[in-house]
Copies of this chain bind each other. A is one copy, B any other.
Amino acid sequence: MRKTPRQARSRALVEAILEAGARILSVEGWAGFTTNAVAERAGVSIGSLYQYFPDKLALTDAIRQRHLDDCMAVLRLSQDAALSPDAFAAGLARAMISAHLKHPGLHRVLLDEAPASSDYRNPQSVFEQAYLACFEAAVARYRGEANRVAALVLSDAIDGIVHNAARRGMLAEPEVERELVAVVLASLALRTRPSS
């Protein structure tokens, strides 16, 4: 950000911009996400937007950061070493679904369409490290082995299930949640080479 908002008014302004941007990205996708549209939706002048974000990329990054923080918060809540596998899978599925219910399209747009300044999806990035750590811990806990790739694949499978359900408007359907739980559970019950 170009400058840190210190006063209450400034913080509210930045908040309004981020929220307006998230909503536009979610509803209209990357194509409808123009800086002028965001400013207008936020009830702010385009000039003010550029006071706090040097360019469109910085704005996008800020929206993404906020969204990923939300996701991590929700994900961490589902981490509890004392849970049974069933309870863990149920909690994780519930957490992932609820994290996407507010802006169903946002996650996909931010991760698939929107350009990013840093390669935050690289396995070495801060976010991905923290995100994957949760899954690696769960794999270690329930499968009894450290397996980085298995954690990656599990998180990717969940990602695909949730993001496609969101696109189809099926995110809230109990059947989807039930199947998601089943897939997570099955993945965690596996040893690495089940076929041998």
A182 CB → nearest B CB, Å? 5
Bound-state Cα–Cα, A165 to B165, Å: 20
- The answer to whether A121 has its CB under 8 Å from any CB of chain B is yes
A31 partner, pick from B115, B153, B193, beta carbons under 8 A = B115
Contact across chains for B161 and A153 when beta carbons are under 8 A apart:
yes
- The answer to whether A146 has its CB under 8 Å from any CB of chain B is no
Q: Which residues of B contact A121 (CB under 8 A)?
A: 167-168
Q: A123-B168, A161-B160 are in contact. Are A153 and B181 (CB under 8 A)?
A: no
Stretch at the interface among A10-18, A58-66, A172-180: A172-180
- The answer to whether A34 has its CB under 8 Å from any CB of chain B is no
Question: Which residues in window 116-159 of A have CB below 8 A to B?
Answer: 121-123, 149-150, 152-154, 156-159
Which A residues have a C-beta under 8 Å from some C-beta of B?
A: 30-31, 86, 90, 108, 112-113, 115, 121-123, 149-150, 152-154, 156-161, 163-165, 167-168, 170, 173, 175-176, 178-183, 185-187, 189-190, 192-195
Could you tell me the dominant secondary structure of chain A's interface residues?
helix
Q: How many copies does the complex hold?
A: 4
A183 CB → nearest B CB, Å? 6
User: 29 A-B contacts, Cβ less than 8 Å apart?
Assistant: A31-B115, A90-B195, A112-B112, A112-B113, A113-B113, A123-B168, A149-B173, A149-B175, A150-B179, A150-B182, A152-B168, A153-B165, A154-B183, A156-B160, A156-B161, A156-B165, A157-B160, A157-B183, A160-B161, A160-B163, A160-B164, A178-B192, A178-B193, A181-B195, A182-B193, A182-B194, A182-B195, A186-B187, A186-B189
